[in-house]
Amino acid sequence: MAKINSIGILTSGGDAPGMNAAIRAVTRSAICNGLKVFGIYRGYKGLVTDEIIEFKSQNVSNIIQMGGTILKTARCQEFRTAEGRAQAYENMKKHGIDALVVIGGDGSLTGARILAQEFDIPCIGLPGTIDNDLYGTDTTIGYDTALNTILDAVDKIRDTATSHERLFFVEVMGRDAGFLALNGAIAAGAEAAIIPEFSTEVDQLEQFIEHGFRKSKSSSIVLVAESELTGGAMHYAERVKNEYPQYDVRVTILGHLQRGGRPTAHDRIIASRMGVASIQALLEGQRNVMIGIENDKIVYVPFAKAIKNDKPIDKELVNVLHELSI
């Protein structure tokens, strides 16, 4: 196996708080271990268009506390084509980059996997997404911060919901995963969560109403995961207006504010641990794996597993929310 002397690092897809902490950790750990580091701007786009500069330790000073990503992120159609990836490979060769660390979600890791297969380049993925939807890791970089942002917003909505005795549907992100909605609902003391994982099993609105909605409550808050499978908060608000016109219904879509903000301690710590682990993995000869954390231990998850498998929702969480919302 060829020795690795130099690595490239990029952030891709949806941004997530804690990505900067990961960039810092990868850069500094690589330098500590005698490797050269190149920062690649705008995800795969920068790899294709050669927006690549060498990073020293100072390039990542004072960023651990910042949301977003200093490397910027982008979605790159060209990288989905064989020609685009060939151009990316040429640029890597030009700079002498032997391996890549990719921080991003499902799509970004899919791109890394394909590039690794086509050009035999070691690639390591770090799970950077607020959605927590990558298999093989208990949590992803950005998820805890987004959860806390949701909590803060829902606490505020609760004040007005209680004062007016209203039913609020609050839409949160998650793509096709319900982790933010379900755990957000538990943490905020919401009455229910409507999540895509159960969209075909039961009518979650019927269940919520039957479960005794407003029996003893002056207000109710339901978190709805944005997803075509659930139809989103608007869909449920319309249904309630039609089927239960006695209720005073409002909708709040939290939107992009969920992506921003200073990363929590938890996200900074896992990003730092995963960043250091990505360099260790490369030095150990690992390739084409995502770094995960399971039971507080670093694990290597083959890309194929991380991308292809659906991460299951723990039914115990559903029960916790159900019992506590009486």
Active site residues: 131
DSSP secondary structure code for residue 212 in this structure:
T
- For β-strands 289-294 and 297-302, DSSP reports them as antiparallel
Catalog residues that contact ligand ADP under the rule CB under 6 A. Answer: 12-14, 44, 75-76, 79-80, 104-108, 110-111, 114, 129
Between 114 and 317, CB nearer to ligand ADP = 114
> C-beta of 23: minimal distance to ligand ADP in Å?
15
Residue 324's contacts (CB-CB under 8 Å, 6 or more residues apart) are: 186, 189
> C-beta of 196: minimal distance to ligand ADP in Å?
16
Tokens 């005073």 sit on residue: 248
> C-beta of 79: minimal distance to ligand ADP in Å?
4
**Are 178 and 196 spatial neighbours (Cβ–Cβ below 8 Å)?**
yes
Which residue, judged by CB position, is nearest to ligand ADP in the bound state? 107
Residue 102: φ, ψ to 5°:
-110, 125
> C-beta of 312: minimal distance to ligand ADP in Å?
19
Between 1 and 82, CB nearer to ligand ADP = 82
Strand partners, 92: none
> C-beta of 111: minimal distance to ligand ADP in Å?
3
Q: List C-alpha distances in Å: 150 to 22, 41, 97, 184, 201.
A: 23, 29, 39, 6, 26
How are strands ordered across the β-sheet holding 52-55? 52-55, 36-40, 6-11, 99-104, 123-127, 289-294, 297-302
How far is residue 210's CA from residue 18's CA, in Å, rounded to a whole number?
Answer: 40
Between 45 and 287, CB nearer to ligand ADP = 45
Residue 186: φ, ψ to 5°:
-60, -50
